[in-house]
Structure 1
Amino acid sequence: MQHLRNKNSEQRLIELTGRLSRMATEDYYNPYRLFSWPQTLPEDELWMSEDLLSVSGTEVMNELSREQLLRLAKWESINFYSVNVHGIRELLTEVTSRLYAPGFEEFTDFLHHFIGEENEHAWFFAEFCRRYGGRVYALPGLKTQDPADRTTENFLVFAKILIFEEIVDYFNERMAEDASLPETVRQVNRVHHKDESRHIAFGRQLVEVLYSRVRDEATAQECARLEQYLKRYVTWCVQSLYNPAAYRDAGLAEPLALRSRILRDETRRQAERRYLRRPLTFLTKVGIFQDQTIQAV
């Protein structure tokens, strides 16, 4: 019975990738012509939605002047796109290595679309950072241990990609709709959100299929270790949004101490749950997570 369910899931995935590939072809755009980058963005406007800032809801937020808040929004915007650049770089390496690999033959056409779109996303996010911030922030790496087998490695790679994309898409969707932001900010987020909707639909179905292959061979203890590994990755994603370099560039005093103070504020847990809700709900629903408890940041 389990074998039959797996086959049905894989067939649904094959059909889905065909539809998504056709959509990607029909919706194709040239990002190098799409964006008209203004020379500057207004410094008297927020560059990130206020409720998405890392200080939102905290006592620190109440202590900032309007000028400080605007500077922080600018540099947290640069940090958010920098996080995207580094995340995309990692996923491009992993996905490219799996083109035409055993087990991925049926998905090759869509993966080509996926790689092409993600490469273009990395370009326009980095372009935003360089034009309006003069830099792409560095991002600390996550130390991992290589899985013992290729089946498990495939699952973890695409589960991490899905988690990353789901978190990013929450921010994209919110900022695309925020009329208080400069149009360039809204456009970058709007364009990315449109493409990511296809990537997330594919990722959810693929992760479910890949996990079924792992679960067929793994013990309960091994599945529990995979859950903890992915939960550590969720924590790492959350931590990347609290960048002391952004606090420093915004002119805020003692950025490392400030980061610690913000992270200790329990109101941040509520904000984090909002942008983690979709990935955690999905991973719990399909049995990859047994609960939605995440290690404290």
Structure 2
Amino acid sequence: MTTTTEERARDRKKTAERLLASSAKLSFDPLKEIDWEAEPVEGAYYLPPHRVSLYGTALWETLTEAQRIELSKHEVASVASVGIWFEEILMQMLLRHAFDRDPTSAHVQYALTEIADECRHSVMFAKMISWMGAPAYGPGRVSHELGRFFKATSTHSQTFGGTMYVEEILDAFQREMMNDEALQPMVRQVSRIHVIEESRHITYAREELVRRDLGPVRRRYEQLLLGLVIFRSTKSLIHPRVYAAVGIDPEVGRRAALANPYWRATKVEMAAKAIGVLDRAGLVGPANRWLLRRVGVI
């Protein structure tokens, strides 16, 4: 059955009202909720060892336990800095989305609420990187400059499709991290706050995606552009310079991670939910499936 414009508007309003109510009940200020003066726990990983990009490789076997922990720290810092990069893009896309719509609507008010959440998340990730004493690696220069273009030109499907993908990837990592009592408490606490608040953002993006009707030509175009977003954001998760922190040549480390079946399996697992939603929305197809295979998420 085809959904009418009126039905979509009612559904959008109900979703936004529910998310606004949830935000009012359960939101966090990480500057107050987290003890940023806490010391790291000696001997604790920052990321589950089997999720580190070199886990199971010959290079992994050459590392001491201390080096493995150090690499897990730098990989968390890399992912967090890419999270900041994308959240900054997302905030600008949401502002563009709200700019053309009625600010008295619950839908726009939730968009503004999400922007406020993302501001706090970016500060939280930045403070965690500083707390770890790691660099803010970022996504690399090419992805950074492509993000500058994407945030200014993204369509509805690209905005919410890209948002849903990146947030689902982070959510999958962090749900595992927040429940792993062997990890650094600071990382678990940051993960918990992000998971709770991002669950609302994922719902908002996912439901916007499935409401959109696309013709066959436009669908192929959106598939291609989303494929490029997925390719660049996934490729950027682990900056090659993280390997230098444990004495590995960045290019050697990068090649080992790309060939690592454990790391490829992690990417497929972490992306599975997002890829499923995009597929149901008609945003996975011939125009982008090759890109998804190439970056290792399917």
**TM-score, normalising length: structure 1:** 0.87
1:278 corresponds to 2:273: yes
Q: Which residue of 1 aligns with 2:294?
A: 296
Q: Which residue of 1 aligns with 2:124?
A: 124
Matches within 5 A, 1:202-217: 202-209=204-211, 211-212=212-213, 215=214
In structure 2, distance between residues paired with 1:115 and 1:29: 14
Deviation string, structure 1 residues 257-287 (Cα, Å, up to 9, x no partner): 2202220234432221100100011111222
Out of 66-75 and 262-271, give the one that drifted further.
Answer: 262-271
Give aligned pairs, total: 287
Q: Structure 2: which 5+ runs fail to align? A: none
In structure 2, distance between residues paired with 1:153 and 1:44: 46
1:49 corresponds to 2:36: no
Out of 69-78 and 185-194, give the one that drifted further.
Answer: 69-78
Q: Which residue of 2 aligns with 1:18?
A: 17
Out of 195-204 and 235-244, give the one that drifted further.
Answer: 235-244
In structure 2, distance between residues paired with 1:126 and 1:83: 11
Q: Which residue of 1 aligns with 2:236?
A: 240
In structure 2, distance between residues paired with 1:12 and 1:227: 25
Task: Report if the CA contact (8 A) 2:45-2:73 is conserved.
Answer: yes
The verdict on how the C-alpha distance between 1:10 and 1:260 changes in structure 2, with shifts beyond 3 A counting, is farther
Letter in 2 for 1:227: Q
Q: Which residue of 2 aligns with 1:115?
A: 115
Out of 118-127 and 221-230, give the one that drifted further.
Answer: 221-230
In structure 2, distance between residues paired with 1:145 and 1:92: 12
Matches within 5 A, 1:138-149: 138-140=138-140, 141-142=142-143, 143=146
Q: Could you tell me how far 1:99 is from its partner in structure 2? A: 2.1
Matches within 5 A, 1:133-212: 133-140=133-140, 141-142=142-143, 143=146, 153-209=155-211, 211-212=212-213
Percent identity for Structure 1 against Structure 2: 20
SS of the aligned residue for 1:242 comes to coil
Q: Could you tell me how far 1:134 is from its partner in structure 2? A: 4.8
Matches within 5 A, 1:3-14: 4=4, 7-14=6-13
Letter in 1 for 2:155: E
Q: Structure 1: which 5+ runs fail to align? A: none
1:263 to 243, 252, 258: 258
Deviation string, structure 1 residues 180-228 (Cα, Å, up to 9, x no partner): 012111000001000011111111001222x32xx1xx4x233223212
In structure 1, distance between residues paired with 2:249 and 2:259: 16
Q: Could you tell me how far 1:174 is from its partner in structure 2? A: 0.7
In structure 1, distance between residues paired with 2:134 and 2:222: 39
In structure 2, distance between residues paired with 1:106 and 1:24: 13
Give the RMSD, CA atoms, in angstroms. Answer: 2.5
In structure 2, distance between residues paired with 1:145 and 1:221: 26
Letter in 2 for 1:262: A
**TM-score, normalising length: structure 2:** 0.87
Q: Could you tell me how far 1:56 is from its partner in structure 2? A: 2.8
Deviation string, structure 1 residues 13-42 (Cα, Å, up to 9, x no partner): 220110110110111333221111134313
Task: Report if the CA contact (8 A) 1:78-1:133 is conserved.
Answer: no
